[in-house]
């Protein structure tokens, strides 16, 4: 049996192995992605919408795309029309999809025939289509890996890149001479008026830079957090063995990651055992009722009070580490003697400073998309660790 040190090294190696695959993918795809983003920007400006969908864990990618475009994390960026239609995507697309719309279908590495059929039908109506993965459409790509977790992590980087790049094209067109507030995202782009073809080339270079930034951050986490990831997995396994479950929660994009983590537990890939888990972020009626009646600060605490049992594990996902509803929920989990684990960004925020997590796992960055991308790697490695790293 591997020692604790060997397991921690193994986790670090799995994080670093992702980097080579991801950088290679974006080196090959950056120009195609930049061209696709140019068309997306044109369709949005004509009134088109982004309609995303998938099944099982891939529905959470559609959730994440929707929130990124509707509620952008960078102050000053416009809200763009986007919907997650996963619940009944075939019926909704038949009634909603228009020629200027952008459809984004997510699936496992082997693809999803129902998702492909919906994309083909929308493409026949002149909608723009993204098949992730797929073999046809306006933009499509073969899976870069058959590991479902790494495949999903790569998809998250891809749609974050789409969101960032679409805004560059907006500002270039609307201002006519520069890239406005998006300049810090894309240092290649100067303030002189440029032809669109030049913008595409330079945005492609910036997309490659984003993948490199992601790799550097993941390497940092491999160096600093691998032992903590191992410790967290071991502590969670002990609670599950005693009859506990995972209670996961987060806001916005972190909510979709909480949902994904929970689904990965109860609907795991082949070879994994199902384990009990719930996401408090997956309850829209509860969330809106609590927010409306008593305030957004209590949306997770109230649910945790209802669901928490001895031996449960509270897992918070937060880019800032300071969201009031996250802090209050972890305080409640502490009162109930739950094991508390937190995936955090920045410097760990109030959660770290107040010691609210038994195991804090920190992605030390101040840029939310990159934090979320590496947090996805962390919770996927935690999921593997719940099997004792048998597949590692």
DSSP 47-71: T--EEEE-SGGGHHHHHHHHHHHHS
Question: What's the longest Cα–Cα distance across the chain?
Answer: 64
At 182 the pLDDT is 44
Q: What is the pLDDT of residues 240-295, one digit of tens each?
A: 999 999 999 999 999 999 999 999 999 999 989 999 999 999 999 999 999 999 99
Percent of the chain with pLDDT over 90: 85
Domains of the chain (ranges; CATH) run 4-213 (3.40.50.10490), 242-385 (3.40.50.10490)
Burial of 375 (0-12, 13-18, 19+ CB in 10 A): buried
User: Tokens 């994080």 belong to which residue?
Assistant: 15
Percent of the chain with pLDDT over 70: 91
Residue 332 in this model has a pLDDT that exceeds 80: yes
Q: What is the pLDDT of residues 302-320, one digit of tens each?
A: 999 999 999 999 999 999 9
Read off the pTM. Answer: 0.92
Query: pLDDT band for position 197 (50/70/90)?
Result: low
Residue 145 in this model has a pLDDT that exceeds 80: yes
Residue 77 in this model has a pLDDT that exceeds 50: yes
Q: What is the pLDDT of residues 160-195, one digit of tens each?
A: 999 988 988 887 775 543 444 444 444 444 444 445
């Amino acid at each position: 049996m591997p020692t604790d040190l060997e397991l921690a090294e193994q986790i670090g190696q799995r994080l670093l192995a992702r980097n080579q695959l991801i950088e290679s993918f974006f080196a090959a795809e950056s120009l195609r992605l930049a061209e696709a983003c140019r068309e997306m920007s044109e369709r949005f400006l004509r009134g088109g919408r982004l309609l995303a969908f998938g099944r099982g864990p891939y529905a959470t990618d559609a959730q994440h795309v929707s929130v990124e475009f509707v509620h952008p994390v960078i102050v000053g960026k416009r809200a763009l029309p986007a919907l997650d239609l996963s619940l009944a995507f075939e019926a909704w697309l038949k009634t909603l999809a228009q020629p200027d719309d952008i459809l984004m279908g997510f699936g496992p590495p082997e693809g999803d025939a129902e998702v492909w059929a919906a994309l083909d039908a929308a493409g026949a109506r002149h909608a723009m289509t993204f098949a992730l993965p797929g073999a046809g459409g306006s933009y499509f790509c073969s899976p870069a890996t058959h590991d479902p977790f790494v495949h999903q992590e790569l998809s998250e980087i891809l749609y974050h890149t789409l969101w960032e790049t679409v805004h560059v094209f907006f500002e270039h067109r609307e201002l006519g001479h520069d890239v406005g507030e998006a300049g810090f995202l894309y240092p290649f782009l100067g303030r002189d008026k440029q032809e669109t073809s030049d913008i595409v080339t330079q945005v492609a270079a910036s997309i490659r830079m984003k993948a490199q930034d992601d790799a550097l951050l993941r390497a940092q986490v491999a160096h600093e957090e691998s032992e903590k990831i191992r410790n967290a997995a071991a502590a969670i396994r002990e609670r599950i063995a005693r009859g506990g479950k995972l209670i996961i929660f987060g806001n916005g994009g972190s909510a979709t990651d909480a949902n994904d983590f929970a689904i990965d537990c109860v609907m795991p890939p082949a070879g994994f055992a199902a384990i009990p888990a719930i996401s408090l972020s997956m309850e829209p009626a509860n969330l809106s009722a609590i927010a409306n009646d008593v305030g957004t600060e209590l949306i997770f605490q109230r649910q945790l009070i209802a669901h928490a049992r001895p031996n449960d594990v509270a897992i918070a996902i937060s880019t800032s580490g300071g969201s009031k509803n996250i802090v209050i929920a972890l305080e409640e989990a502490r009162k109930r003697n739950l094991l508390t684990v937190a995936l955090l960004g920045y410097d760990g925020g109030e959660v770290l400073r107040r010691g609210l997590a038994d195991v804090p796992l920190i992605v030390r960055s101040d840029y939310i998309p990159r934090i979320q991308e590496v947090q996805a790697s962390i919770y996927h490695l935690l999921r593997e660790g719940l099997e004792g790293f048998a597949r590692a």
